[in-house]
Amino acid sequence: MQVHGTFSIGRKSQCRLCKGADATAEHILSTCDAISLKRLLHLGKANLTPEEVVSVALRQVLNFFGSLELP
């Protein structure tokens, strides 16, 4: 199995940012408390529903992920 930064491919792992939830793209984009201020800055809200995530421009999502400085 490959592991890259915060995300695991093919298995569940704990979020390295908040240490309290599974490290999934949905968690990072929607509800991870450790990065809520960055989400607010880049995506317009501190917490997003999956439906709201779909409507965010790709450029905003890329800028958001770039701001996380993940290994």
Domain boundaries, the chain: 3-67
pTM, 2 dp: 0.74
Give residue 52's identity as a one-letter amino acid code.
E
Cβ–Cβ < 8 Å for 63, 42? yes
Res. 1 pLDDT band, cuts 50 70 90: very low
Both tokens of 15, joined, read 């979020």
Q: What angle do CA 32, 34, 47 make, to 5 degrees?
A: 40
pLDDT in tens, 19-38: 988 888 899 999 999 999 99
**Rounded distance between C-alpha atoms, residue 7 and residue 70, angstroms:** 10
Residue 11's pLDDT is what? 61
pLDDT over 60 (residue 6): no
Give residue 27's identity as a one-letter amino acid code.
H
